[in-house]
Amino acid sequence: MSKNIKWIKVDSVTGVSEATTKPTNGAVHPNLSGLTQQFDWGQYFYGTADDSVSTDDSNHIHEITDAEYITDITGKIDEFVRTWKVVAYEQEIDLRKKELGTYADSVYASASGYKYDAATAFISSATPNAGLTTEAFYRGTTVGTLANKIKTNHETYITKESKIAGLRGLYSDRIDGIMAGIDTSTVAKALESYVGIHTEEKIGEITIGIGVTEDINVGYYNPSGLSDRYEYS
């Protein structure tokens, strides 16, 4: 038989918890019969030890119930959820700067919507407005050439922007569903749920030699791979 244990590392010689005194001989897991690590959160490690083991709360070695263990597993998962929600938007901002920055900050942000309407109207009916006529004159080109350039640039921008927004939304939707998917029926199931949030999926492959490829994997939930997902989608 075994019991659930939660502990902080101890000095390898004195056995005193590093939470109490800074270890001078190196920090190690306590010498407990049958100790098996399964999980960690902050300074604490979690697992099981033989039922005969005596714990010591004053030395930060605690016996915990299944319910307490599951609560801490759920707490760490929730911590990842909150962090990943922020990371998803940070990754999106960085990707937008990389892929859209110049165009978005200048042309599109100022008047591209208006210009696109004018350009498509000209392409359709050959009737220019004052803005297109003036810009084409000072640019030294024809209204038709300018209209097609505006249309192409705008649609390229919209495609990229929509792809970025969609991929960030994919991550956000997945992250939002994590907590509802945790199985808290047993410690083992809760640990499986924790492992599951770190699942990866293949999004592409690269050639590393003649006839040899390597898979490109990113987190299913972890949004730090947003740029790679964008590149290989």
Backbone φ, ψ for residue 140 (5° rounding): 75, 35
Structure tokens at 6: 């939660």
pLDDT higher than 70, residue 215: yes
pLDDT value, residue 110: 46
Tokens 């808290």: give the residue.
Answer: 184
Beta strands at 212-219 and 200-209: parallel, antiparallel or unpaired: antiparallel
pLDDT value, residue 3: 97
Per-residue pLDDT of 193-202, as tens digits, reads 999 999 999 9
Per-residue pLDDT of 14-55, as tens digits, reads 999 999 999 999 999 999 999 999 999 999 999 999 999 999
Per-residue pLDDT of 82-121, as tens digits, reads 999 999 999 999 998 898 876 555 555 545 678 888 999 9
d(CA 74, CA 191): 9
Q: What is the mean pLDDT of the chain?
A: 93
pLDDT value, residue 32: 97
d(CA 163, CA 168): 9
- Cα torsion 137, 141, 144, 146 to 10°: value is -90
pLDDT value, residue 101: 78
Tokens 């999004």: give the residue.
Answer: 203
pLDDT value, residue 108: 54
